[in-house]
Amino acid sequence: MTRPVLHDYWRSSASYRVRIALNLLGIDYQATTVNLLTGAHRAAENLAVNPQGLVPTLEIDGQALTQSLAIIEYLHETNQPASTLMPADAAGRHRVRALSHAIAMEIHPICNLSVANHVAEITGGGDEAKAAWMRTFIGKGLTGLERMLDDPRTGRFCHGDTPTLADLCLVPQMYNARRWGVDLAAMPKLVAIDAACTEMEAFAAAHPDRIGPPA
Amino acid sequence: MTRPVLHDYWRSSASYRVRIALNLLGIDYQATTVNLLTGAHRAAENLAVNPQGLVPTLEIDGQALTQSLAIIEYLHETNQPASTLMPADAAGRHRVRALSHAIAMEIHPICNLSVANHVAEITGGGDEAKAAWMRTFIGKGLTGLERMLDDPRTGRFCHGDTPTLADLCLVPQMYNARRWGVDLAAMPKLVAIDAACTEMEAFAAAHPDRIGPPA
């Protein structure tokens, strides 16, 4: 089998999610950097594998797969029965997807750097406007998520005691929340789950600081 | 079996997706309105079923399910083998999810009315700033989606010749694009698929104009 290739960027939350999944599943892969700061995502080379001009893309099984959550569901489905990234029951899968989407749909897209840069531009407010935007929408989204976790099915991780897709979404979002100075004092469940994840090498090895910026 | 209850709002894209799914699957349901204009989504009654304070919520099988895409995947999984909302193969499911997420994660959250209202507020640009924001991000997102559909697996619908989750995401987004005056001239594939969907009664019956604003 050809070794999978991940088109990656160290600080992309979406890339970070896929790195954790590959590590948890023990899939050996090769990473290639798409430098978002130099616009490499909009270049022909990236558009050829990712028509939206985004990261990540995972080349695997003769296909170029895009969209991080869709990639992770694919990796789960094609690594049965080993993968436990999704629960075995329909109600559990619904809950894990709902938690994942509460992050990946309700927070992350609004707080994408390209959106925040657009806000800084149209307000003329520069970095301060950008940071205020981030704190507003990350804070609001995480507040709703903390309420969703007030559920007997929450365990050491978002759903039970093994990591699922929801935790793969949470950890990069918490990294971003801290980076932008979001106040996490009212979110003890999120903080505890993030800490439990961080103890696992599969999560730690995927952290942006372990990957580092492009040379 | 208790009749499912959909907590709905006529113009919510997320609600609209779920209405189409229920219609396509022939699931008889009762709708109850959550009036976003009067803030009913943030009231205790809605928070009790939807901790994020959003719509839609689907009460079904003794549970209150949130997050539209997670609800639709649940309906698909619990209506086997009748439901064809997701393809039968892992690669096909990946593609349908990637297309769905290109809309539901890359476009819809940024163009949510609460985000656009916040933009109008911080720019002081009022309705014009809001409309410009909508056209910028809907236009950019649909351009990427049109490129993703340049794929032999695209058929009469986004993936093949039967509607899938991707079409349930596309149709409400096209309704919004037209509402905000997005130029669709360079998106012939999206326009054709939207038209094919509109011909089906399951889609037509879910249209906001057929539901109408709260009394």
Asked whether residue A214 is domain-assigned, the answer is no
In this structure, what CATH number is given to the domain that contains residue B108? 1.20.1050.10
Percent residues over pLDDT 70 in chain A: 100
Asked whether B104 and B12 are in contact (CB, 8 A), the reply is no
CATH number at residue A63: 3.40.30.10
Kindly state whether residues A77 and A126 are assigned to the same domain: no
Q: Is residue A193 part of a domain?
A: yes
Q: Check residue B179 and give its pLDDT.
A: 95
pLDDT tens digits for range A11-61: 999 999 999 999 999 999 999 999 999 999 999 999 999 999 999 999 999
What is the pLDDT confidence band of residue A114, given thresholds at 50, 70 and 90?
A: confident
Residue B11 maps to a domain = yes
Note whether B151 and B128 are same-domain residues: yes
Q: Which residues contact A164 (CB under 8 A, 6 or more apart)?
A: A84, A85, A86, A87, A96, A157, A158
What is the predicted pLDDT for the residue at B197? 98
Q: Are residues A102 and A54 in the same domain?
A: no
**Could you tell me the maximum CA-CA distance found in chain A, to the nearest angstrom?**
52
Answer yes or no: do A39 and A135 share one domain.
Answer: no
A145–B101 C-beta distance less than 8 A: no
Inside any domain, residue B212 = no
Q: Are B192 and B148 in contact (CB under 8 A)?
A: no
ipTM of the complex: 0.96
| Structure confidence at residue B112 (pLDDT) | 85
Contact: B94, A73; criterion CB under 8 Å: yes
Sign of CA dihedral A23, A43, B160, B189: positive
Residues A40, A74, single domain; the answer is: yes
Confidence of residue A89 (pLDDT cuts 50, 70, 90): very high
Indicate if the pLDDT at residue A7 is higher than 90.
yes
d(CA A127, CA A112): 14
Predicted local confidence at residue B4, as pLDDT: 98
The last residue of one of the domains, among B39, B65, B83, is B83
Continuous H helices in chain B:
13-24, 44-49, 68-77, 90-104, 113-123, 126-148, 165-179, 188-198, 201-204, 208-211
pLDDT tens for A149-201 read 999 999 999 999 999 999 999 999 999 999 999 999 999 999 999 999 999 99
Q: Are residues B94 and B199 in the same domain?
A: yes
Bridge-based pairing of strands A30-33 and A5-8 is parallel
In this predicted structure, what is the pLDDT of residue A112?
85
Query: Does residue B102 contact residue A54 with C-beta atoms inside 8 Å?
Result: no
The partner residue sitting opposite B52, judged by closest CB among A70, A77, A102, is A102
Whether residue A158 sits in one domain with residue A98: yes
Among the candidates B35, B58, B83, a domain finishes at B83
Contacts of B111 in chain A (CB under 8 A): none
B190 in the same domain as B140: yes
Q: Which of A145, A82, A108 is nearest to A15 (CA)?
A: A108
Distances (CA, A) of A125 to A120, A129, A132, B128: 5, 5, 10, 19
pLDDT tens digit sequence for B180-201? 999 999 999 999 999 999 999 9
Distance CA(B4)–CA(B188), nearest Å, equals 37
Assigned domain for A23 exists: yes
pLDDT of the residue at A113: 84
d(CA A156, CA A169): 15
Confirm if B159 and B95 have CB atoms less than 8 A apart: yes
Choose one of B27, B48, B83: the last residue of a domain.
B83
Q: How many Å lie between the alpha carbon of B180 and the closest alpha carbon of chain A?
A: 19
Check if B192 contacts A (Cβ < 8 Å).
no
**A72 with A138, same domain?**
no
Asked if B102 reaches chain A (Cβ–Cβ under 8 Å), the answer is yes
pLDDT digits (tens, 9 = 90+) for B109-139: 999 888 899 999 999 999 999 999 999 999 9
Answer yes or no: do A94 and A191 share one domain. Answer: yes
**Which helix (DSSP H) or strand (DSSP E) does residue A14 occupy?**
helix A13-24
B213 is a domain residue: no
Of B52, B110, B144, the CB nearest to A53: B144
The residues near B32 (Cβ < 8 Å, ≥ 6 apart) are: B5, B6, B7, B8
Are B41 and B145 members of one domain?
A: no
Residue A73 contacts residue A165 (beta carbons within 8 Å)? yes
Residue A198 domain flag: yes
**What are the start-end ranges of the H helices in A41-112?**
44-49, 68-77, 90-104
A56-61 CB contacts, 8 Å cutoff, 24+ apart: A56/A6, A56/A7, A56/A8, A56/A9, A56/A12, A56/A14, A56/A15, A56/A18, A57/A6, A57/A7, A58/A4, A58/A5, A58/A6, A58/A7, A58/A18, A58/A29, A59/A4, A59/A5, A59/A6, A59/A7, A60/A4, A60/A5, A61/B91
Nearest to B29 by CA among B8, B52, B55: B8
Q: What per-residue confidence (pLDDT) applies to A171?
A: 98
Q: Which amino acid is at B30?
A: Q
Q: Give the pLDDT confidence score for residue A210 in this predicted structure.
A: 96
Q: What is the mean pLDDT for each group of 10 consecutive residues in chain B (215 residues)?
A: 93 97 98 94 95 96 97 98 98 98 94 89 92 94 96 98 98 97 97 98 98 90
CA atoms within 13 A on the CB side of B60: 24
Task: Give the amino acid at B23.
Answer: N
Say yes or no: B104 and B69 in one domain.
no
Per-residue three-class SS string for B146-174 = HHHCCCCCECCCCCECCCCHHHHHHHHHH
The DSSP 8-state label assigned to residue B42 in this structure reads G
A101 vs B67, B77, B136: nearest CB: B67
pLDDT category at A4 given cuts 50, 70, 90 is very high
Q: Specify the number of domains making up chain A.
A: 2
Contacts of B129 in chain A (CB under 8 A): 122
Q: Which domain holds residue B183?
A: 90-203
Beta carbons of A139 and A181 less than 8 angstroms apart: no
In a domain, B176, yes or no: yes
Q: How far is B162 from chain A (nearest CA, A)?
A: 20
